[in-house]
Amino acid sequence: MKKIKSNKKNLTDIYNALFNFFGPQHWWPGETPFEIAVGAILTQNTNWGNVEKAINNLKKQKALNARALHEMPHKELAALIKPAGYFNIKAKRLKHFLAFLSDHYGGRVERMRGEDVHALRHQLLEVNGIGPETADSILLYALDKPVFVIDAYTKRVLTRHKLAPEKATYHELQGLFHNNLPADVKLFNEYHALFVMAGKHYCKPKPRCEECPLRVFK
Ligand code: SF4
């Protein structure tokens, strides 16, 4: 894997500017590790408001637990998560994850905590429909593992500030953080959430640099 050149100072200064501007984000929204893992799968290609509606539907049916979802027919699950979009595909992905969870961890996300982070990441990536961003979101937010989550907002900010090339891969971008920052769950948690805030409000497809807390770094 290629290593992107950067230094700790750039990344620390950007973090401090975002934190001072937006304040702590206290991510991820979710009451249990299981709910966080389900949310990480449902949030693929949609916004969080839609995921919340889908999760509320599951809660209303008292179905937000591994056993109920594992036993629920595909059609019923797809109907309940419809607000999250791509509901047939996401129902299949949830079923794959639930089968994995049931086979390896007795249906309990918490039981994954004891595993080595690299082994666990490898296992999650083997599950059909779980890619690096979803796997890393589960590792960081549901399991408190120090793994940096890269999303489209993060990539956009980094490339616009010339901290990473346009063609950088997920793992090269992740390496930038892993190689330059301490492996700190709280820091990785806040930093990713702050990139989302910057991307949603300022670093949009048409950037609003003049009002952005990162304008001083351009
Ligand atoms: S909006 Fe402009 S200043 Fe803000 S992060 Fe994007 S490129 Fe940087």
158 lines ligand 1 (CB under 6 A): no
**75 is written with which tokens?**
């059609």
Q: What residue ranges define each of the domains in the chain, with the CATH number in brackets?
A: 8-26+148-217 (1.10.1670.10), 33-142 (1.10.340.30)
| Residue with CA closest to ligand 1 atom 2 | 209
201 lines ligand 1 (CB under 6 A): no
108 lines ligand 1 (CB under 6 A): no
11 lines ligand 1 (CB under 6 A): no
Atom of ligand 1 nearest to the CA of 213: 4
200 lines ligand 1 (CB under 6 A): no
Atom of ligand 1 nearest to the CA of 198: 5
197 lines ligand 1 (CB under 6 A): no
Q: What is the mean pLDDT of residues 182-211?
A: 96
User: What's the CA angle centered on 163, arms 159 and 164, to 5 degrees?
Assistant: 60
How far apart are the C-alpha atoms of 55 and 63, rounded to whole Å? 9
**pLDDT single digits (tens) 138-172:** 999 999 999 999 999 999 999 999 999 999 999 99
Output the pLDDT for position 2: 60
**pLDDT single digits (tens) 84-120:** 999 999 999 999 999 999 999 999 999 999 999 999 9
How far apart are the C-alpha atoms of 109 and 27, rounded to whole Å? 18
Q: Which residue has the higher pLDDT, 6 or 149?
A: 149
Ligand 1 mean position to 160 CA, how many Å? 7
Ligand 1 mean position to 169 CA, how many Å? 21
**What is the pTM assigned to this prediction?**
0.94
Output the pLDDT for position 6: 63
**pLDDT single digits (tens) 126-136:** 999 999 999 99
**pLDDT single digits (tens) 35-81:** 999 999 999 999 889 999 999 999 999 999 999 999 999 999 999 99
Output the pLDDT for position 4: 66
Q: DSSP secondary structure string, 99-120? A: HHHHHHHTT-GGGGGGS-HHHH
* pLDDT(3) > 70: no
Ligand 1 mean position to 210 CA, how many Å? 8
Output the pLDDT for position 29: 83
How far apart are the C-alpha atoms of 218 and 209, rounded to whole Å? 9
**pLDDT single digits (tens) 182-191:** 999 999 999 9
Q: How confident is the model at residue 8 (pLDDT cuts 50, 70, 90)?
A: confident
* Of 163, 215, 217, best ligand 1 pocket probe by most atoms within 8 Å of the beta carbon: 215
Output the pLDDT for position 202: 98
Output the pLDDT for position 58: 98
Ligand 1 mean position to 70 CA, how many Å? 43
Atom of ligand 1 nearest to the CA of 209: 2
Output the pLDDT for position 28: 87
